[in-house]
Chain A
């Protein structure tokens, strides 16, 4: 496939992901400029899925690193296989230490973690660094060398250069401030809740047989719900689940729609708020 914004849009649509105009263009830039793409936005707007579908579209391996509080280089970058190193030393018996050292600190005994795997892969891979805002500041620093030079320094082994530059998608729920150094190295995309037309296209990707008028009515309701001050406004994924649930119950019955709200809203207080204001929201 020749990479152009339009081709990306079409390929994404074929894989069931509605890519908006701006996202298609920014993704195109990230691919051409070989830059990581930092995708921020509220939960449920398709940030991680963007990376997953990109892997499918570009025909590359998907490597995913889920960030969490306390993640460090041994989980993200590499680790030495100590047990095998010990076994190896015992098996070869005594010998010259310099030779032995060179042997045990070679790639044979290196356990590559997602980041190293992504840059040493012979075929271009897609790397998703998911929810980076959950990791610590130190972890962000760890990424800097990789994301700008496409290399990793391993003290015992030297510098490992990237065989291919992977497509990198970094997602963040915008929960904490990311460092300027990290942002500087990335292109930036904010994926907000979609507009009505965009969301309609996304719903049609997943439920092609849905009647347009009915879908629009449901989506207008969701858009109004999002404007309320809720603890967790519904994302696109929840909207699709809600519509699927309604179709399984009874499309014409308002009570069924209210019952299915559990698929749309995941907080009791939000549910109560929306149910109590149903008349105005439903319009």
Chain B
């Protein structure tokens, strides 16, 4: 029971920390967790918390990271002797003929053979030694440490060996999994060092770095990108479902017999009041205009995923991508699987003549397409950062678009404080928009999408 009490205290602490990081776990769920632990015993701790507290991937991921961070903080550092042994072992590992061997790549190979705790301690001793030379955000620091380990060279060699059949599929996947463990260890160690040595505010540091819903699009790692992508797909489907059942009443409607009878019951069966059906409102017609220039590539990827996931439910969505010239991609979205459609957009260059965003020209060309788009009945959604590369904004063309379309909404991946910096012309465009949303991360995007009516 003593151990259970300790576990319970740990659960409460982690639940509180999760809440501080804006990931909510209800008191009733925590109570369920306690009941579950009492019923199944503390040896089933993992099963119980997964069943009662961690009901989606974001919560699961964050929980285990926090748990790892706690155990890392309790883990004793290597003694000098042990550290020396580590270096020798690393050198031995590096001496073998393995992909990426030579230099620090040997360390990485050595780590791939170690236990979890040993990886943590090894990474900790290695990273702590060079910590003062690291700069930037934790994401950038992780990249710098990975460079030290010759990470990308090892990865490329691994891919090559897989493609040429030198290693089996099983070994490839296994090594990739181990690399992910090492990457997690590097990240955790850096978080710990940032907290300890730079005296960062723990909540803000973790919120910025670990809550994928709060993390800026450009800071997402590959694994986090997949997580957020799944969230975006679900968000799109939620939106599609929400709009699928919109009705309104109108004057000329069909008389519904069953509700009329029901009403008549109140008057001894006399149908005094006729009940008329509700008229289904046409789903809003949407025209989406997505900037696919390099500066917004990550965000656009997610927005296109969002558009794709609800376009399959709407028949009246027209999608365009642009850099300096709009190109329609509606057909690709309707006919191809998501990945293939995105790939096709990436490989296409028709939307980029000069390679630089030119909103003025895009507005001008969209005006030429207005009649073909049934603009009077459509909402235009622009997804872009409004960075115009110092070119003419051609506000007259945006004004024409405003008159043509029913509404114009703008989703900007930049935080609002950056809307007037450098070549970003958002404040110039604002008077012609019905609404503009700053969407620097998933949470902001979900909030903006939820607010659309």
Using CB atoms and an 8 Å cutoff, list the residues of chain A in contact with chain B: 5, 22, 25-26, 28-29, 32-33, 35, 38, 69-70, 80, 82-83, 85-86, 89-90, 94, 97, 100, 104, 133, 135-138, 174-177, 180, 183-190, 224, 227, 229, 231, 269, 280-281, 283
Contact = CB atoms under 8 A, between A and B. Distances in A.
Nearest to A37: B51
B258 interface: yes
Interface stretch (B83-91, B95-103, B241-249, B422-430): B241-249
Interface of B: 24, 26, 28-29, 32, 35-36, 39-40, 44, 47-48, 50-52, 54-56, 165, 168-169, 173, 231, 234-235, 237-238, 241-242, 244-245, 258, 261-262, 264-265, 268-269, 337, 339
15 contacts: A5-B40, A25-B51, A26-B51, A28-B39, A85-B261, A85-B262, A89-B268, A135-B241, A136-B244, A174-B234, A177-B231, A188-B50, A188-B55, A269-B337, A283-B168
The dominant DSSP class at the B interface is helix
Contacts, number: 103
B237 to A, nearest CB: 4
A35 B44 contact: no
A231 B338 CA distance: 10
A137 B239 CA distance: 10
B347 to A, nearest CB: 17
Nearest to B259: A82
A190 B47 CA distance: 11
Contact of B238 (A5, A33, A86, A177): A177
B36 A33 contact: yes
B269 A176 contact: no
A184 B29 CA distance: 6
Given A133-B237, A138-B245, 5 more contacts: A135-B241, A137-B241, A177-B231, A177-B234, A224-B169
A226 to B, nearest CB: 11
Nearest to B24: A180
A165 to B, nearest CB: 16
Given A28-B40, A89-B268, A136-B244, A82 B261 contact: yes
A180 B29 CA distance: 11
B269 A136 contact: no
A184 B26 contact: yes
Nearest to B235: A177
A222 B52 CA distance: 32
B256 to A, nearest CB: 11
Contacts of B36: 29, 33, 187
A70 B244 contact: yes
B47 A25 contact: yes
Contacts of B48: 29
B244 A29 contact: no
Q: Which of B28, B52, B339 has the most CB of A within 10 A?
A: B52
Nearest to A134: B241
Nearest to B60: A190
